[in-house]
Chains A and B, each alone.
Chain A
């Protein structure tokens, strides 16, 4: 009996990625999960099991804030799914139209905000929407709609939606690019065959292209989900760690930040912060699993 020879070159080539990824991703992830099981009393770390989670979900002071953050996160995600992704697909469909002129310019212009820093995007939009120096009230004034202007970022009812739309503006380039690539990979023969059967224009999009790009849309949805539930930067730069007004824009990321690192007079509590981070991890894990096992496996794939 002969053992299969170890293929050393595979080990060697994998090693750098595995080591780096383990050191900066896997280890901190499990260490955070572990940290959530401890607490600190009089400068010493004590193992308390699931006590932090009992506080987080059982104590109304914590659980109200957690559910509020989770709900806001859901809203943030739903707005992206309903606005960012359909708009991204629509833009991709328009861009892939053979008769469109200056497609490369539009493609670049729409994609550029994606590579901007959150700080720049947050600050620019805060200025645009500022009731004092912003351009938004003036622009509305020009068309005689000044009465429609409100300090959107400062009102409980509109702040979250405004921030979601700013984020949509920033990231609409990503679904656009992914869908655009998928659309380009559809062979012309299929579309021509459709034309012979009388399927052209709009119905060609609905009946041929859309089913063929569904797997891409699935991936886009998962990426949106993970990115939205990990979101933090935009809220932090525009509204601060307190995610005002009155926590109406508080999402899991900002709540975790406040708890972990402390805020103003509140000293940081890494252990409760880790418990919240573990909660975020669980939410994302469940969401991704639902997609993988519930949707991905049922998607029909077409080989060209």
Chain B
């Protein structure tokens, strides 16, 4: 008798538990940001679940290098999570075209984002948006404030001041003026060409004209950045040709270099490593008072798996990703990853504040090669790495580099033919 009562009680509790579980929906997030696991579990997910107790959220990241391959096979096999972290441009567009990402154009949270912010996760005609923008990274220069104070230098605003400062640092001899190497190639293009370039091609104006075919890579505004990069080589450390990306990071955080051409994602890492005060200045303009343009690159977004059985709950979560609460949570937990929304976000990190303040003074644009133009072979992004390195080393003239890139682009991109 007692036994059977116990059995019934057990059975009843299981049933109750099952009904409770049925009322709850569990959302799984696919991501490559395994560095952020703790942040999602301790801050973001509890904040969301407090508002929506009926929805459970699980953050399930894989390693960055494997993410695209893992995600694609999971999507094909039908075992992918409900929410998909989106890479910018073609990788995600291919998923949308294959019907694996849902169209989110009608999501109300989308109204909180500008067109530039959404451009990385839209079809070419802008008709459909399939991921909610989460964060961007801004390019500029991080500098060693103590070194600048020692030499009586101020953060440069114009190109002339920039090179004058580098000259002064070099003449002093205590610091390597610029912490950058060409061994890994991408820094030359990402932190070099696409960092200083927008000031030459006027940001979005030039980038869109290039996509439309109205400007070409042999035009002065696209060649001139290479000419400036060619002057950088003299200020980089001995043997910069074999200097890797981690080498440059260490060189700067150990206090051996004065200026680091940067992306804002470095901020949290540098904060932990550098024991001197850091400052940041934006890419220098030609003449004082010129309009300035910064690379405010759309980097990460969140989309909805088209095959997800929990689409309703998924949309609720995505709406929340577009809210000001999420924007401020994310931006403060990860200084250097800036919210793409139109909400005003207060950040505590001074370096991150400096970076994001440029949005108010300058026009934002994204890296010139990322949208559409790197779709063919030869790949314009990779070619730009190569050309930027060649410019710094002086192994190819800026004009030749421009002509080579234009020839490669025109070989497959119709508007440029």
Contacts and interface: CB of A to CB of B under 8 A. Distances in A.
A156 B91 CA distance: 32
B378 A61 contact: yes
Given A131-B242, A151-B239, A154-B240, A265 B89 contact: yes
Contact of A154 (B186, B239, B369): B239
B379 A246 contact: no
Contact of B241 (A151, A263, A265): A151
B385 interface: yes
A171 B243 CA distance: 26
A265 B395 CA distance: 25
B242 A246 contact: no
Nearest to A266: B379
How many A residues are at the interface, by size bracket?
20 to 34
Contacts of A261: 69
A267 B379 CA distance: 9
Contacts of B181: 154
Contacts of B91: 267
A265 B242 contact: no
Interface in A36-95: 43, 61-62
Nearest to B390: A246
Contact of A43 (B98, B238, B411): B98
A154 B379 contact: no
B379 A264 contact: yes
A242 interface: yes
A245 B94 CA distance: 31
How many B residues are at the interface, by size bracket?
35 or more
A133 B378 CA distance: 36
A265 B381 contact: yes
Given A240-B184, A246-B386, A264 B381 contact: yes
Contacts of B237: 131-132
Interface in A122-155: 126, 129-133, 137, 149-155
A264 B186 contact: yes
B389 A245 contact: yes
Contact of B374 (A61, A133, A244, A265): A265
B181, B183, B237: residue with the most chain A Cβ atoms closer than 10 Å: B183
Given A242-B185, A245-B182, A245-B389, A61 B377 contact: yes
B80 interface: no
Given A131-B239, A242-B185, A245-B182, A265 B379 contact: yes
A239 B183 CA distance: 7
Contacts of B238: 131
Contacts of A151: 239-243
Contacts of B244: 126
Given A61-B411, A264-B382, A240 B247 contact: no
Given A43-B98, A263-B382, A265-B381, A131 B243 contact: yes
B251 interface: yes
Interface string B222-259: 00000000000000011111111001000100000000
B296 interface: no
B408 interface: yes
Interface in A251-285: 261, 263-267
Contacts of B393: 245
A244 B382 contact: no
Contacts of A150: 239
B232 to A, nearest CB: 15
A244 B385 CA distance: 10
A265 B370 contact: yes
A62 B379 CA distance: 12
Contact of A265 (B183, B247, B369, B390): B369
Given A131-B242, A154-B182, A264-B379, A246 B389 contact: yes
A76 to B, nearest CB: 19
A153 B247 CA distance: 14
Contacts of A130: 239, 242-243, 247
A264 B370 CA distance: 10
Contacts of B182: 154, 244-245
A266 B241 contact: no
A239 B94 CA distance: 29
B90 interface: yes
Interface string B101-145: 000000000000000000000000000000000000000000000
Given A246-B389, A264-B382, A267-B90, A240 B240 contact: no
Contacts of B69: 261
Interface in B362-417: 369-370, 374, 377-379, 381-382, 385-386, 389-390, 393, 395, 408, 411
A129 B243 CA distance: 10
A151 B237 CA distance: 11
B247 A244 contact: no
Contacts of B247: 130, 132-133
A111 to B, nearest CB: 29
Given A126-B244, A265-B369, 4 more contacts: A130-B247, A137-B239, A151-B240, A154-B183
Closest 10 CB pairs of A and B: A131-B239, A154-B241, A154-B242, A151-B242, A151-B239, A265-B374, A266-B379, A265-B381, A151-B241, A153-B242
Interface of A: 43, 61-62, 126, 129-133, 137, 149-156, 239-240, 242, 244-247, 261, 263-267
18 contacts: A61-B378, A131-B239, A133-B247, A137-B239, A150-B239, A151-B239, A151-B241, A153-B183, A153-B242, A154-B243, A240-B184, A240-B185, A242-B385, A245-B389, A246-B390, A263-B379, A263-B382, A265-B382
